[in-house]
Structure 1
Amino acid sequence: MRAILHKYQGYSKDWILDHPYCALLLDMGLGKTLSSLTAIVELLTAFEIIENVLVIAPLSVAEKTWTDEIEKWDHLQHLTTSKILGSEKQRKAALSKKADVYLVNRENVVWLVEHFGRRWPFKTVIIDELSSFKSSRSKRFKALRKVRPLMNQVIGLTGTPSPNSLMDLWAQIYLLDQGERLGKTITEYRNRYFVPAQKNGHIVYSWQLVPGAEEQIYSKISDICISMKAKDYLKLPPRTDNIVEIQLSEESKQKYKELERHYVLELAEADVVASNAATLSNKLLQLANGCIYDENEDAREIHQEKLEALERIIEDSQGQPVLVFYQYKHDLARILKRFKQAKVLDVKAGDIQKWNEGKIPILLAHPQSAGHGLNLQRGGHIVVWFGLTWSLEYYQQANARLDRQGQKQPVIVHHLVAKGTIDEQVMEALKNKEAGQESLMSAVKAKIREVKLCQKL
């Protein structure tokens, strides 16, 4: 198929060509992969300034998305690829193969760095979902930091650069400019732009921006980052976010309150014990969903209210496919038991194609494994969040599996929210985080004067 890039995609491609290191903060569905690959083709052929490229991506994206895009478009089909995935033997075999583009999942970054050391061969590196390197304490960040001086070109791609706060930016920008803009260390960055918000003695639990810091940070990174929002460039069908309130029985409410107040819930055969606030939050989310792990790690069902609500949504959909996001294994087991026609997403089994062909009536997916790079927009337009996530990144990316370019119908996102539970706090937190994300995206938004909104896309 012949590819005709939209003007915003051409702008993104040129941005890569004009910057030895940069970030494309592009909303989901704006074609980051196609823009990047088109730039790579020009760098490999027209300019002949690079030899091979390493793409670091989530596993499902490394396995399928990039190669699918290469196979789809005529001007990319000459590119050769090699997937550094699987067992160590398979990874080494992939490295010995001559290719234009090497693909590795982010979990194997540490192994790849240790394998090559100072002999690091990849001068051009694309980090797909740059936000997965947001933690300066993570092994994957520390590994990539070691070999960053050996790279000539680094391209970061993400739609969620600050999923939790602007503290998330430092590690991502460091992998681009090695500390030139936001400081050489996270401590330097933190001391310059933040002050403690909550602390106990020398222990700081959270940080807040100093006055004017937000604008300073945006200004610092604006020369290497461009941001685009889908609503500015795509004629997407409308999306409706629907809160489905779940009313728990008095018995279920009492169990919830008992666990919330005392960190312990006494059940017939074993107790549920939360050792700290973080564990309690997790347990409360489980209970709101209807099932909870006890101290023996056995799943104990408390109620079926969310299953009943899910059944009503499926019935109301009148045979239209439904994509359901779950959080816990016991949620998955209960959904599968209730709905025999449901199928757990398996990329290797060809479920993406089956879904897009309308052959799967209920597709079950975990947002952490299905939240990046999967094109499911041709198979349905109804999303149900059976269990909620605190992560804005997973939340936005998961919704974007259907709410993206190519979708023909209005998207409906149902959230099953148990009244009077932690579900309500999660929804509020996601709204607040989304507001902060919008500020960053707007601050570094690309100024493409020649592109008119919604121009023949």
Structure 2
Amino acid sequence: MIYKPHNYQKYAAQWILDKEKAGLLMDMGLGKTVVTLTAIDELMYDYFDVTKVLVIAPLRVAEDTWTSESEKWDHLKHLKISKVLGTEKERTATLNYKADIYVINRENVVWLVKYYGRYWPFDMVVIDELSSFKSSRSQRFKALRKVKPKRIVGLTGTPAPNGLMDLWSEIYLLDGGERLGRTITGYRERYFLPDKRNQNVIFSYKPKEGAKEHIYEKLKDICVSMKAEDYLKLPDRINNIIKINLSKAAMNKYKQLERDLLLPFKDSDVVANNAAVLTNKLLQIANGAVYDENGDVLEIHDEKIKALEDVIEAANGKPVLIFYSYKHDRDRLQKYFKAKELKTSEDIKAWNKGEIPIMLVHPASAGHGLNLQAGGNIIVWFGLTWSLELYQQANARLYRQGQKQNVIVHHLVAKGTMDEDVMKALQNKEVGQEALLQAVKARLNNIK
């Protein structure tokens, strides 16, 4: 296929060409993979500026997206891509293949850095989904900060899914601390104040007055954002919250666990030892089932199953994509609806051909890089996620370039439960991240 880039894609590719360290905050569906591959091709074969490129990506994206994109476009077919996946023996073998680009999943970054030690061979590194390195305490961050490639590119549509504190480690990987400081402690002290706390224990921080604007200004020369709505004529996305009333018996069980941190059953108990476990258990009950202390599943109600049945019936035979949270959600949905779980590339092809009427997906396994828009336009969140990143990326599997119909996103929310808190948190986080994206937005005349 002949590549005819949009103006915004030309601009994004030029951003990579012009900057040895670049953050490309491109919305889902804008083609950041083909943009980056095009820039790599020019840097390698026109500018002779790089010779060996490493791409770090989520596993499913590493397995499929980068190779399929290079094979799709005529101007990229000559690029040789080696997938550094599988067992250690398989990974070592593929590193020894002669290639232009080596693609590895992010879980193996620590291994790769140790494998090469001081002799890092890649003069360009691309981090596909930069926000997956937002934790400065993670081993993958600590490993990658040791390498100093000539060029580095960070790609993401969700740079600050939980707030501006996420930015420090992401930007550090790009510039080594030049803009936001060399330590997370210094960054925090410079720009933030303690927010939620319990005596000496601080749970969260809030930006100081004027800190947001100062941070945005620091990032403008290295990061640029592009929103799909500015450059693509997408159909509408309709968000629908379906409020669900739990039975009195189910609500009593919910409130008892919330109050006592213990829910006794005949042969076992549901126990919540701390706040995090309690939140998790309450969300499970809101969905209809919960794991007990032995790991067995106890079914509480089927109110969300009934609501989902109504949604599927109203779809009139149209395919429905369902995001679930827990294995017991998946198992119950498979039992009630004979639904298919997305596992392989063949499942993706079958969905896009319209051959799967109901498909189950965990948002963490389909959050990045999968094109499912040809298969349908109806999403149902059976169980919600606290992660704005997973939420936005998952919705973008259908709401993206190539979608021809209005996308309907249903959220099954149990009234009076933690579901309502999660829904509110997602909406608030979207507002906060939007301010950052607007601050570093690409602004060119006639770019649309």
Pairwise same-fold verdict (TM > 0.5): yes
Instruction: Give the letter aligned to residue 343 of structure 1.
Output: K
The match for 2:399 is 403
Match of 1:333 among 331, 334, 338: 331
The match for 2:242 is 244
Match of 1:170 among 161, 168, 171: 168
2:435 matches 1:439:
yes
| Secondary structure in 2 matching 1:211 | coil
1:154-303 paired onto structure 2 within 5 Å: 154-303=152-301
1:105-184 paired onto structure 2 within 5 Å: 105-147=105-147, 149=148, 151-184=149-182
Q: Deviation of residue 316 (structure 1)?
A: 0.9
The match for 1:428 is 424
The match for 2:97 is 97
User: Contact (CA 8 Å) 1:345, 1:351: kept in 2 or not?
Assistant: yes
The match for 1:379 is 375
Instruction: Give the letter aligned to residue 204 of structure 1.
Output: I
User: Contact (CA 8 Å) 1:83, 1:104: kept in 2 or not?
Assistant: yes
Task: Write the distance in 2 (CA, Å) between the matches of 1:332 and 1:73.
Answer: 37
Task: Write the distance in 2 (CA, Å) between the matches of 1:200 and 1:363.
Answer: 43
Q: What whole-Å deviation, never above 9, does each CA across 1:426-452 have from its counterpart, x for those lacking one? A: 000000000001000000001121224
Instruction: Give the letter aligned to residue 10 of structure 1.
Output: K
Instruction: Give the letter aligned to residue 215 of structure 1.
Output: E
* Runs of at least 5 residues in structure 1 that lack an aligned partner in the other structure: 453-457
2:60 matches 1:55:
no
Q: Deviation of residue 52 (structure 1)?
A: 1.3
The match for 1:356 is 352
User: Contact (CA 8 Å) 1:285, 1:422: kept in 2 or not?
Assistant: yes
2:65 matches 1:65:
yes
Task: Write the distance in 1 (CA, Å) between the matches of 2:201 and 2:99.
Answer: 49
**Quick one: percent identity of the two aligned structures?**
63
Q: Name the Cα RMSD after superposition.
A: 0.7
The match for 1:311 is 309
Q: Deviation of residue 201 (structure 1)?
A: 4.1
TM-score (ref. length: structure 1): 0.97
| Secondary structure in 1 matching 2:83 | strand
The match for 1:346 is 343
Instruction: Give the letter aligned to residue 315 of structure 1.
Output: E
User: Contact (CA 8 Å) 1:60, 1:347: kept in 2 or not?
Assistant: no
Q: What whole-Å deviation, never above 9, does each CA across 1:404-444 have from its counterpart, x for those lacking one? A: 00000000000000011000000000000000010000000
Instruction: Give the letter aligned to residue 424 of structure 2.
Output: E
Q: What whole-Å deviation, never above 9, does each CA across 1:366-406 have from its counterpart, x for those lacking one? A: 00110100000011000000000000000000000000000
Task: Write the distance in 2 (CA, Å) between the matches of 1:166 and 1:383.
Answer: 29
Q: Deviation of residue 158 (structure 1)?
A: 0.1
TM-score (ref. length: structure 2): 0.99
Q: Deviation of residue 202 (structure 1)?
A: 3.5
Q: Deviation of residue 346 (structure 1)?
A: 1.4
Q: Deviation of residue 281 (structure 1)?
A: 0.3
| Secondary structure in 1 matching 2:355 | coil
Q: What whole-Å deviation, never above 9, does each CA across 1:285-306 have from its counterpart, x for those lacking one? A: 0000000000111010000111
Task: Write the distance in 2 (CA, Å) between the matches of 1:288 and 1:413.
Answer: 19
Instruction: Give the letter aligned to residue 307 of structure 2.
Output: A
Q: What whole-Å deviation, never above 9, does each CA across 1:7-39 have from its counterpart, x for those lacking one? A: 000000000000000101011111110110000
Task: Write the distance in 2 (CA, Å) between the matches of 1:180 and 1:75.
Answer: 36
Q: Deviation of residue 44 (structure 1)?
A: 0.9
User: Contact (CA 8 Å) 1:218, 1:440: kept in 2 or not?
Assistant: yes
Task: Write the distance in 2 (CA, Å) between the matches of 1:163 and 1:21.
Answer: 22
Instruction: Give the letter aligned to residue 38 of structure 1.
Output: T
Task: Write the distance in 1 (CA, Å) between the matches of 2:371 and 2:197.
Answer: 43
1:77-96 paired onto structure 2 within 5 Å: 77-96=77-96
Q: What whole-Å deviation, never above 9, does each CA across 1:200-242 have from its counterpart, x for those lacking one? A: 3432111111000000000001101000111111100001000
User: Contact (CA 8 Å) 1:178, 1:184: kept in 2 or not?
Assistant: yes
| Secondary structure in 1 matching 2:204 | strand
User: Contact (CA 8 Å) 1:325, 1:367: kept in 2 or not?
Assistant: yes
| Secondary structure in 1 matching 2:321 | strand
2:388 matches 1:392:
yes
User: Contact (CA 8 Å) 1:53, 1:102: kept in 2 or not?
Assistant: yes
The match for 1:455 is none
Aligned length: 448
Q: Deviation of residue 198 (structure 1)?
A: 2.3
Instruction: Give the letter aligned to residue 270 of structure 1.
Output: S
Instruction: Give the letter aligned to residue 50 of structure 2.
Output: I
